[in-house]
Each structure stands twice: as structure tokens, then as C-alpha cells.
């Protein structure tokens, strides 16, 4: 029994791979071929490199079910990388990552016809948020190619929202003389993410992609691009530090092992907490740059920041603590914002997972610093935050019971039944989020 990832087809800048899962895994795939589009022509790309993005997204699903993956051809270096990542995920998630072999008809050394001298530039996965901006600051001397991905936080069908986010990235790059490369992929709609969530949410802290797949998946999306542009390193910004003791899909043990031909991933900034990254950005702005938009929100339909979700609140608080005025970085904030943040935390208005609590604790740990705060109401807020029990005020609000019931049902009902009921689940979930 195997998942089959078929020979990739290339049409200009678009790569497509048909994926055929066995019956047992069919519920985790939507039936759409895996598709990824680039800004550069990929016609001359070899199949062992072209297939890498699809394999990176299919393999974790197969490993979670102990199923082999069959593929016509694979790069030898990437095959070794997959085996290394599989071992890491099995250590992280021993309760459900069972393993599975990669069975290729042909293993090819993609380095055979290339020279390492052709690969002397770097790329940086870049969303315009705190983590990726901090990684740019750390590597700005390299003048890395900024790589944005539509299909990750912003879906492939959300073009208006993506246009807003992309404009900010383009402006950031233009002001610094950097190249931007855009990737558009259906990696989260080729896989049935709601079904994966229904089956594995009980084992992971966040969603399937963030908790299991996104380090391997996002770095591997850049494989065809690295071949075309000669990138020897793909930087992916860290989410946490070593103090975060929960499994997560992007981690040095994963990202630093992702490699193909003459290119390798680099999990960047793991030694810096989120607040320390904001401090790094603050120092960069004071010494080398004018303020620029920072985009951290996942809710605003215009591609900007909504200014009222948990992540917007958390980011604005961190920026003020670093001496930055969020109003100069694409946010809207005044003294009333701190009142709303405190009220939201005290009544536990946000559904938080462990990694979100980790970042609030990081802010609390830095409240003792002596620094001028540029927004009214900040001093009183940080004095309050410094004294509260962070675990108590950030305790996760309970997910509505009817959503848990529907998700549990998805694990046991036949797939055709669940598929017919999923639109109802979507309406229930959206209604619950709107109420929050």
C-alpha cells in the first residue's frame, strides 16, 4: 500500500503533480493535483527537483499512517533529507507518526551536472512579519532574495487579500534593492486540512501544517526556485527558542536537515525570543531604516492588520515595549488599545495554544526594562502585566463543544458522510469565531 506521487509536468512557470492515495488515506486528500507556480520559467528543470515540493507535503501524511510513498524519481540528497526529517518527526510525535519508506524507481544525484560555484546566493522566506523581518535584519548583508508564499497564511483563492500583503513586501524589497520571488501553491487545498485537523488536533498544539508540516513544506517549495536562481541557502525564520518544549513543525532539527543538490535550509534566529527579535528590529530602524509596515495579522481581508486580534495585540504590545510606535508600522493604536488588551486577557477572550502563551510570557519577562514607551497607557498596562499570573490570564478558552463533537465524528464516520457534512462544520466554526 502506497501513496503515489506521479511524474511532475511543467508548463512554463507551473509545476503540477498528480497524487494517488490508497483508499485508507483518501480522506486526507481533496483529489486536486499538487500545483505550484513561480515567477520564473521552469521548463528546463529536472524532474527529480520538480517533484520535491509535492513530496514534502505528501510524506508527513503518509508517515502519520505508516504508508510508503512511491515516486518515479528523486534527488539522492533530498531522499536522505526526508529520511532524516521522518526520524525527527517520529521522535517529536511518537503517538501518531508511524513512519513509511520512500520508494523511488530512480534515485538521481542532481549535483552531477552542476557545480557548487553556481549556487552562491541565499533566499529568505518572507511574510513581512516579526520573525521574517528580524531574519532579514540578521542577513541583510547577503542581500537575500525575498520569497513570499501565497497558499500558506493567505489562501490561493484570496487574491485581494494577497495583493495587499504583496504590495507591502514589494515596497520593503524595493526600498532595499532586493529581488522578490513569489510562489503560489495549493499545498493546503491539495491536502484536506480540515480532515487532517479532525484526526490529529488531539495530538498537536496548533493546526496540522504549523505543528507538523510547514518547516519541511515551505523550505521544499523553494527547491525549483533555488535551482533556477542559484540559491545555496533558504532561510526560514524561527517561531520559538529552545525554551519552548512542545513539538512544532518548524524546528532546527527539521529545517536544517532539509536539503537537495547544493541547497540547504537554515532555521534562523532560534537563539532569539520574539521580543528580542522586536528589539533587533527597533535597533535596525533607529540606525539604518525608516519605519515600514509590519504585517502579522491573518484576519484582515485587505492584507493588512486588523488591530484587534490576539496576534495584533501581542505584536503591538511587544513593539511598544521595545520603544516603537506601532502606528508607524501599519497598526492603529492608542491608550484605549491597552484597556482592550487587558480586558481581553482577563476574560480569556482568545483561544490560545501553548506557543501563543509562550510569547505572552516572553513579553512579561521583559516588562522590567527601563525604556520610554511611545503610546499613552503603556506604562500602566506593563505594570499590571508584570504582576499577574500569566498562565491564569492566558489559559486557553474552551473550544465550543459542538465543534469538538463534529471533529470527533470525522475520525469515525465514512469519508463520504463527513464530506457531505463538512460545509455545516464550516458554518458552525465561523459562527463561533465571530462570537469570540
Looking up cell 512579561 gives 364
Q: How far apart are CA 350 and CA 107, in angstroms?
A: 48
Low-confidence residues of the chain, pLDDT below 50?
A: 398, 400-405, 407-408, 411-412, 417, 425-436
* 8 A C-beta contact, residue 268 and residue 92: no
**pLDDT at res. 397:** 55
**pLDDT at res. 91:** 97
Residue 121, SS3 per DSSP: strand
* 8 A C-beta contact, residue 18 and residue 72: no
Q: How far apart are CA 126 and CA 136, in angstroms?
A: 8
Q: How far apart are CA 367 and CA 55, in angstroms?
A: 44
Q: How far apart are CA 56 and CA 365, in angstroms?
A: 37
**pLDDT at res. 428:** 47
C-alpha 15 chain-centroid distance: 21
Q: How far apart are CA 78 and CA 83, in angstroms?
A: 9
**pLDDT at res. 302:** 74
Residues forming a β-bridge with 418: none
**pLDDT at res. 392:** 86
* 8 A C-beta contact, residue 337 and residue 311: no
Contacts of 193 (CB under 8 A, 6+ apart): 207, 208, 209
Q: How many degrees, rounded to 5, is the angle at CA 41 between CA 38 and CA 45?
A: 100
Burial label for 392, CB within 10 Å (0-12, 13-18, 19+), is: exposed
Q: How many degrees, rounded to 5, is the angle at CA 250 between CA 244 and CA 256?
A: 110
Q: How far apart are CA 333 and CA 325, in angstroms?
A: 8
Residues forming a β-bridge with 73: 106
C-alpha 397 chain-centroid distance: 23
**pLDDT at res. 88:** 98
C-alpha 353 chain-centroid distance: 15
**pLDDT at res. 407:** 47
Q: What is the DSSP letter of 94?
A: T
Q: How many degrees, rounded to 5, is the angle at CA 373 between CA 334 and CA 384?
A: 80
Distances, alpha carbon 110 to alpha carbons 72, 227, 251, 294, in Å: 15, 10, 26, 38
Burial label for 139, CB within 10 Å (0-12, 13-18, 19+), is: middle
Q: How far apart are CA 122 and CA 394, in angstroms?
A: 38
Looking up cell 536522505 gives 80
pTM: 0.91
Amino acid at each position: 500500500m502506497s501513496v503515489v506521487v506521479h511524474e511532475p509536468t511543467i508548463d512554463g512557470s507551473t509545476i503540477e503533480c498528480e497524487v494517488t492515495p490508497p483508499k485508507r488515506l483518501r480522506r486526507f486528500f481533496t483529489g486536486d493535483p499538487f500545483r505550484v507556480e513561480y515567477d520564473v520559467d521552469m521548463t528546463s528543470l529536472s524532474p527529480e527537483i520538480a517533484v520535491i515540493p509535492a513530496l514534502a507535503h505528501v510524506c508527513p501524511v503518509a508517515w502519520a499512517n505508516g504508508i510508503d510513498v512511491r515516486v518515479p524519481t528523486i534527488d539522492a540528497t533530498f531522499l536522505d533529507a526526508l529520511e532524516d526529517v521522518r526520524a525527527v518527526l517520529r521522535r517529536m510525535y511518537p503517538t501518531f507518526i508511524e513512519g513509511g519508506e520512500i520508494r523511488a524507481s530512480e534515485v538521481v544525484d542532481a549535483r552531477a551536472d552542476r557545480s557548487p560555484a553556481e549556487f552562491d546566493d541565499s533566499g529568505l522566506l518572507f511574510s513581512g512579519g516579526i520573525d521574517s523581518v528580524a531574519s532579514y535584519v540578521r542577513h541583510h548583508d547577503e542581500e537575500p532574495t525575498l520569497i513570499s508564499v501565497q497558499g500558506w497564511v493567505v489562501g490561493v483563492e484570496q487574491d485581494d487579500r494577497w495583493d495587499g500583503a504583496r504590495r507591502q513586501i514589494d515596497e520593503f524589497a524595493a526600498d532595499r534593492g532586493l529581488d522578490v520571488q513569489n510562489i503560489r501553491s495549493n499545498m493546503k487545498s491539495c491536502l484536506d486540512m480540515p480532515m487532517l485537523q479532525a484526526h490529529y488536533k488531539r495530538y498537536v498544539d496548533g493546526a496540522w501544517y504549523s505543528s507538523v508540516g510547514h518547516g519541511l513544506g515551505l523550505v521544499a517549495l523553494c527547491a525549483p526556485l533555488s535551482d533556477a536562481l542559484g540559491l545555496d541557502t533558504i532561510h526560514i525564520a524561527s517561531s520559538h527558542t529552545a525554551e519552548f518544549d512542545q513539538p512544532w513543525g518548524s524546528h532546527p532539527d527539521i529545517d536544517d536537515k532539509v536539503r537537495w543538490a547544493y541547497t540547504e535550509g537554515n532555521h534562523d534566529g532560534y537563539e532569539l525570543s520574539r521580543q528580542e527579535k522586536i528589539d533587533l528590529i527597533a535597533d535596525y530602524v533607529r540606525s539604518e531604516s525608516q519605519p515600514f509596515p509590519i504585517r502579522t495579522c491573518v484576519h484582515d481581508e485587505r492584507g493588512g492588520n486588523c488591530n484587534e486580534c490576539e496576534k495584533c495585540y501581542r505584536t503591538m504590545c511587544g513593539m511598544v515595549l521595545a520603544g516603537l510606535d506601532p502606528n508607524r508600522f501599519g497598526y492603529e493604536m492608542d491608550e484605549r488599545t491597552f484597556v482592550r488588551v487587558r480586558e481581553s486577557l482577563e476574560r480569556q477572550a482568545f483561544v490560545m495554544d501553548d506557543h501563543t502563551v509562550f510569547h505572552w510570557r516572553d513579553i512579561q519577562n521583559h516588562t522590567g526594562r527601563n525604556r520610554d514607551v511611545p503610546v499613552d497607557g503603556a506604562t500602566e498596562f506593563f505594570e499590571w502585566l508584570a504582576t499577574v499570573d500569566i498562565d491564569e490570564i492566558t489559559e486557553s478558552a474552551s473550544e465550543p463543544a459542538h465543534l469538538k463533537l463534529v471533529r470527533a465524528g470525522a475520525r469515525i464516520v465514512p469519508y463520504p458522510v463527513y464530506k457531505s457534512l463538512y460545509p455545516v462544520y464550516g458554518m458552525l466554526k465561523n459562527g463561533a469565531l465571530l462570537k469570540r
